Amino acid sequence: MGNNAPRSIDQYLKALSEALANEEPALRQDALSDAEEYLRAEVAQHPDKSEADVLEVIASTYGHPDEVADAYRATEATVRKAMQGAPRPPATNFPGKFFGVYTDFRTYTSLFLLLISLVTGVLYFTVAVTGLSLSVGLSILIIGIPFFLIFIGIVRVLSLAEGRLIEGLVGTRMPRRAPFVDKELKLSERIMDMLTDRRTWTTVLYMLVSLPVGIFSFVFATVAIVVPLALFFAPIGVLFGLGHHMTVDGEDVRTYMGVAGLVLCAITGFVLLTLSLHVVRFLGKMHGSLAKALLVARQGDA
Could you tell me if 194 and 155 are in contact, meaning their C-beta atoms sit under 8 angstroms apart?
no
Select from 282, 248, 253 the least CA-distant residue to 266: 253
| Predicted local confidence at residue 94, as pLDDT | 76
pLDDT at site 100: 86
Q: Which pLDDT score, from 0 to 100, does residue 244 have?
A: 53
3-class secondary structure per residue, the chain: CCCCCCCCHHHHHHHHHHHCCCCCHHHHHHHHHHHHHHHHHHHHCCCCCCHHHHHHHHCCCCCCHHHHHHHHHHHHHHHHHHHHCCCCCCCCCHHHHHHHHHHCHHHHHHHHHHHHHHHHHHHHHHHHHHHHHHHHHCCCCCCHHHHHHHHHHHHHHHHHHHHHHHHHHHCCCCCCCCCCCCCCCCHHHHHHHHHHCHHHHHHHHHHHHHHHHHHHHHHHHHHHHHHHHHHHHHHHHHHHHHHHHCEECCEEHHHHHHHHHHHHHHHHHHHHHHHHHHHHHHHHHHHHHHHHHHHCCCCCCC
Give the pLDDT score at 302.
Answer: 46
Computed over its alpha carbons, how large is the radius of gyration of the chain? 26
CA distance 290 to 142: 36
Q: What angle do CA 165, 290, 295 make, to 5 degrees?
A: 65
What is the pLDDT tens value at each position of the chain, 302 positions in all? Answer: 445 667 788 888 888 888 888 888 888 888 888 888 888 888 888 777 877 777 777 777 777 888 888 888 888 888 777 666 556 667 777 777 888 888 888 999 999 999 999 999 999 999 999 999 998 888 788 788 888 888 888 998 899 999 999 998 998 888 888 777 666 667 677 777 777 778 888 999 999 999 999 999 999 999 999 999 988 887 776 666 555 555 555 555 555 555 676 778 888 899 999 999 999 999 999 999 999 999 887 655 54
pLDDT value at residue 143: 83
